[in-house]
C-alpha cells in the first residue's frame, strides 16, 4: 500500500521499506507473526505488535534481520484515514503476476491515492505522479469510471483543464463536490493552482487532526515505565 505499490503503478518511488495493509483479526495476525519470524523481524519503536493498536489505526514498525532482507523495514497497518475497511480494500485490490509467476496484491489505485493524502511533504508529489501516469496510460481508451476518477483526483492543472474540455458534462456534474473544477472549466490556471494548494492544505490539516490522539497515545507508550 506504499512506495512499492507506487512503483508497480508506474509512478516510481525509491523506497527502503514495505508498507502492508492487513486484516486485523487474531488468525491473520498469527500468520503475519510467522512470516515476520521467518524474516527475523523485530518491532522498532512503539506501539507493540498487538491487535488493539492496529484496530485503532496505528502503524506497527518492524526491522528485518534475515541476511536476505537485512535492515529492511516493514510497516503494517489495518486502518487509514479516509480509506475504506480492509474487506472493501481487498475486494478492490489489483493482483499482478510477477516474472517468476508469483502474485502480488496491491491496494487499488484510487485507494492508494486516498491513503497518500497525508501531512507528509513527499506524498503529494506522488499523488500527482500516480494520477498523471494513470491518465497518460488510459486517455486514449478512457471509460467513464476512469474519467470520473481523473476529475475527482487529478492535481495537474493542465490535465484537469484538458479533461474538463473533453468531458464537460461529467465535469459540470462533479463540480458540486469539487468546487475547483469551475476553474478547470474556465481554463483559469492561476485560480486552479491556488485552489489545488488550498485543497492540499485542508487534507493535510485533516490528517494532522486524525493523528493527534494517536500520536498522544504513542507518547504515553514511549514514556510508560
Task: Classify burial at 20, counting beta carbons within 10 Å of its beta carbon; exposed 0-12, middle 13-18, buried 19 or more.
Answer: buried
Instruction: State the Cα–Cα distance between residues 141 and 14, nearest whole angstrom.
Output: 30
pLDDT of residue 3: 77
Residue 218 lies in a domain: no
CA distance 2 to 209: 21
Kindly state whether residues 78 and 130 are assigned to the same domain: no
Q: Looking at the structure, do residues 52 and 130 belong to the same domain, yes or no?
A: no
At residue 1, the pLDDT reads: 81
Q: Is residue 34 part of a domain?
A: yes
Q: Report if residue 63 sits inside a domain.
A: yes
- Residues 12 and 78 both lie in one domain: yes
pLDDT of residue 14: 65
Tell me which of 51, 82, 113 is where a domain ends. 82
Q: Total domain count for the chain?
A: 2
> What is the per-residue pLDDT across 35-93, written as a single tens digit (0 to 9) for each?
999 999 999 989 999 999 999 999 999 999 999 999 999 999 999 999 999 999 999 99
- Boundary (domain end) residue, out of 82, 110, 140: 82
Burial (CB < 10 A; 0-12, 13-18, 19+), residue 135, is buried
pTM above 0.85, yes or no: yes
List the domain range (segments joined by +) for residue 62.
Answer: 3-82
Name the β-bridge partners of 102.
Answer: none
Q: State whether 127 and 206 are in the same domain.
A: yes
Say yes or no: 73 and 127 in one domain: no
Do 200 and 129 fall within a single domain? yes
Pairing verdict, β 41-44 and 94-97: unpaired
Which pLDDT belongs to residue 181? 98
Q: Is residue 193 part of a domain?
A: yes
Instruction: With respect to residue 98, please indicate whether it lies within any of the assigned structural domains.
Output: no
Picking from 124, 92, 102, 129, the residue whose alpha carbon sits closest to that of residue 9 is 129
Residue 147 placed within a domain: yes
Pairing of strands 41-44, 60-64: antiparallel
Positions of the chain with pLDDT lower than 50, given as ranges: none
Report how many helices (DSSP H) and strands (DSSP E) the chain contains, helices first: 11, 6
pLDDT value, residue 172: 96
Indicate whether 216 belongs to any domain.
no
φ/ψ region of 104 (left if φ > 0, alpha if ψ in -120 to 50, else beta) reads: beta
pLDDT at 13: 66
Q: Are residues 204 and 131 in the same domain?
A: yes
Do 8 and 59 reside in the same domain of the chain?
Answer: yes
Domain boundary residue, one of 21, 52, 82: 82
Residue 220 lies in a domain: no
- Are 130 and 205 found together in one domain? yes
Amino acid at each position: 500500500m506504499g512506495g512499492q505499490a507506487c512503483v508497480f503503478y508506474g509512478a516510481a518511488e525509491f523506497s527502503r521499506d514495505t508498507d502492508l495493509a492487513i486484516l486485523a483479526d487474531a488468525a491473520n495476525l498469527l500468520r503475519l507473526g510467522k512470516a515476520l519470524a521467518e524474516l527475523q523481524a523485530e518491532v522498532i519503536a512503539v506501539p507493540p505488535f498487538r491487535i488493539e493498536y492496529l484496530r485503532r489505526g496505528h502503524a506497527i514498525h518492524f526491522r528485518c534481520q534475515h541476511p536476505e532482507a537485512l535492515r529492511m523495514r516493514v510497516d503494517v497497518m489495518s486502518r487509514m484515514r479516509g480509506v475504506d475497511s480492509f474487506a472493501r480494500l481487498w475486494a478492490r485490490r489489483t493482483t499482478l503476476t510477477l516474472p517468476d509467476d508469483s502474485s502480488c496484491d496491491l491496494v487499488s489505485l484510487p485507494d492508494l491515492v486516498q491513503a497518500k493524502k497525508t501531512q507528509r511533504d513527499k506524498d503529494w508529489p506522488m499523488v500527482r505522479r500516480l494520477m498523471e501516469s494513470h491518465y497518460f496510460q488510459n486517455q486514449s481508451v478512457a471509460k467513464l469510471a476512469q474519467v470520473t476518477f481523473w476529475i475527482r483526483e487529478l492535481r495537474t492543472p493542465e490535465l484537469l483543464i484538458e479533461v474538463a474540455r473533453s468531458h464537460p458534462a461529467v465535469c459540470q456534474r462533479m463540480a458540486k463536490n469539487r468546487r475547483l473544477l469551475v476553474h478547470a472549466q474556465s481554463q483559469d490556471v492561476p485560480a486552479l493552482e491556488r485552489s489545488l494548494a488550498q485543497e492540499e492544505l485542508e487534507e493535510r490539516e485533516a490528517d494532522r487532526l486524525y493523528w493527534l490522539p494517536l500520536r498522544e497515545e504513542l507518547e504515553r507508550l514511549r514514556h510508560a515505565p
